[in-house]
Structure 1
């Protein structure tokens, strides 16, 4: 009986050791990966200095993608997106309520932001993006209709040349005084 148990445990120990060793190798190689130019902390965990970050940004700006992005920033469309971001920046920083009206239940054609709706805040249009759907977490959001008045809160607003609108990350939505969506805090995050 002991021999059978040892015979079953030995392959388990060998496989576990191989999996653990493979994980260690992957962790070591990921630490050696090249840092992104826009980030402040490379995958190695040591923050880039301001000079290193600026040098990486300057280098990226000379690439075809960087040149195209700079042209978009200077274009009327880019300036409009940045102006929209500026108008709500104070609310984003303070995570305070913003009144919005749903203008469309779908995102612009070809968008790859997951689930979201189009909204208008103080006369400016925004994409309210919630990300990829998991289970039924967006069930109440699917019930929103055009012209519904909602209260939103968010920690971030972003932009991309592909979209003609600022992209607001949906973290809290309230309609008629009832919370219809509240993003759960990330596990293990800061």
Structure 2
């Protein structure tokens, strides 16, 4: 009887040992990846390296071009609203994005006499159903916490978190599921 009990307990102990060892290995790898953050000097060196690459040179040329300066100035105009996630009044100018864009679902809008791409994210099932009811020249109120730009686009890209029309919320970005 004792031999049977020992025969059952021994594999259990071995399996538990493997499970705990695997947990420790996962914790060690996550600590290693977390410690891979670059110092300021390393980040500066990487940035210099990128600026010397063909993509970096092309970006610098775009940044100093009239089109690039216009896009950067437009982004700077709404930066204070973005940083405080304040309400911005927008007028829908087009229900489609520029040709060749790969931003997912979005519209073109005018804010403070400048034009912007309002990006809502990749299209999912019914997430943007109410946004599809927007009409050209319609007024909406938006909130965002991020504006970006790219040489490919002639307008700054505003990632919209909240849309309201006539006092009614028609879109609110769902919080991320991974907690970050």
TM-score w.r.t. structure 2 length? 0.81
Tell me, which stretches of 5 or more residues in structure 1 are unaligned?
A: 1-16, 32-42
Q: C-alpha distance in 2, partners of 1:48/1:93?
A: 26
| Count of aligned positions | 155
Alignment of 1:33-182 (within 5 A): 44-46=33-35, 47-182=37-172
> Which digits, 9 at most, give the CA deviation of each residue in 1:122-161, with x for residues without a partner?
1000000011111101001011010000000001000000
Q: C-alpha distance in 1, partners of 2:167/2:88?
A: 13
Tell me, which stretches of 5 or more residues in structure 2 are unaligned?
A: 1-17
Higher Rg of the two aligned structures: 2
The higher relative CO (CA closer than 8 Å, separation ≥ 6) is in 2
TM-score w.r.t. structure 1 length? 0.77
* RMSD over aligned Cα atoms: 1.9
- Structure 1 segments (4+ residues) deviating >3 Å: none
